[in-house]
Amino acid sequence: MKVILIEDVKSLGKKGQMVNVSNGYARNMLFPKKLGVEATPKNINDLKLQKAHEDKVAKENLEAAKKFKEELETKQVTVSIKVGENGRTFGSVSTKEISEAAKAQLGYEIDKKKMQLANPIRELGTTMVPVKLHPQVTAELKVVVKEA
C-alpha cells in the first residue's frame, strides 16, 4: 500500500515522502497514530500543492534574508569597554552585548546565537562579525569597540 507520511518515521522515511508499506503496517501503525495517510489521487495532489507552497515560502525567506544582509552590512554597532593602563581591556565583548547594542542602536533583533564569533572581542578597534541570517546567507556586521 502506498502511504504519504505526515510525520517523520524513524525507519521508514521523512515527512511528505511517499513510501510503500504493507497493508497491516499502514492500518495498524501509521493511520491510527496519524503518521501517514493513504496515497489517493486527492492526497497526492494536496502533497504537491503543499510542497509548492513550502518552496514559495522558502524562496521568499531567502529573498528577505538577502535584502536584510545588504541593509545590515551598511550599518555599524558601537560597544564600549573599560580600558586600563597600556590599552589593556577589562573583560571582553560577547555576542550578547553586540546583540543588545544592535537592538538599542539600530532597532534590529539579532539573535546572539546566529553571530558566529569564534572568541569574544578583547581589543579596541573595528571587528567584522559574521551573522548567519539564513542557511545560505551570512552577513558581516561591523562592530566598533571603543574605550568607555
pLDDT tens readout for residues 55-90: 999 999 999 999 999 999 999 999 999 888 877 788
pTM of full prediction above 0.85 = no
Residue 115 confidence (pLDDT) above 90 = yes
Task: State how far Cα 99 lies from the chain centre.
Answer: 16
Residue 32 pLDDT > 80, yes or no?
yes
What pLDDT, on the 0 to 100 scale, is given for residue 91? 85
Can you list the positions of beta strands (E) in 1-147? 2-5, 18-20, 36-38, 76-81, 125-134, 137-147
- Give how far Cα 114 sits from Cα of 28, 98, 138, Å: 43, 11, 9
Query: Is 55:23 a contact under the CB 8 Å cutoff?
Result: no
What structural domains and CATH numbers belong to the chain? 2-63 (3.40.5.10), 69-147 (3.10.430.100)
The 3-state secondary structure of 91-117 reads CCECHHHHHHHHHHHCCCCCCHHHECC
